[in-house]
Amino acid sequence: MTNRYSRQVLFSDIGEKGQKQIRSSKVVLIGCGALGSVSAEMLTRAGVGQLRLVDRDFVEKSNLQRQSLFTEEHVSQGIPKSVAATRALRAINSEIDVEGVTADATWQNIETLCQNHDIIVDGTDNFETRFLINDVAVKHAIPWAYGACVGSYGLAFTFTPGTSACLQCLFEGPPAIGTSETCDTVGILAPVVHIIASYQVTQVLKILTGQPPSKQILRIDVWN
């Protein structure tokens, strides 16, 4: 094992064996905005073997306040987030396989995007896509790390089909359009993004190393 991961290997709950498991893992991340970009960077630095990034959007100036992978140069280039993130991540860790997919996750492609991966990471900003992730996760018994944040509030839970509740157990269906607060309506603080993404990635690393994730829902308000 290279000294790149030496401090992670020294952590006894991971060790050499766990690092090899991380290195052989395949992770798909749906959404490369605030949560997604932070999670993608941490997973890349942790040494996941293959990381697939799925996002349809282009980098905008308003993203720079909280989406840590992107720069003003990406804005001026007018490139997709999946492309910008892939370039940035490859510069961070050339040892892993990073694949950017510029596409919207829909009922038509969600199964193809997620199949044959060890875990799904939620970096989305809407319930419609999360319910699609939940469907494919339950169908193929793929664990997935849910995360959401708006304003100063964040929420996270890791679903493990067969051993935990699923998203539909917590929410019967997506809330009606226009009834939920969004980053576009009430804003978002960068600190809560990093906390929720950090929690998501921690649970991902636990699963990839054969350990059970937390069974509790994380709720946090960093301002109040």
Give dist(CA 133, CA 142) in Å, integer. Answer: 10
Task: For residue 155, give the nearest of 217, 80, 98 by alpha carbon.
Answer: 217
* Ramachandran assignment for 141, one of left (phi > 0), alpha (psi -120 to 50 degrees), beta (any other): left
Q: Per-residue b/e over 160-192, b at no fewer than 16 CB within 10 Å? A: bbeeeebbeeeeeeeeeeeeeeebeeeebbeeb
Looking at the annotation, which residues are catalytic? 183
Is the sign of the CA dihedral 27, 31, 36, 37 positive or negative? positive
Give dist(CA 35, CA 124) in Å, integer. Answer: 8
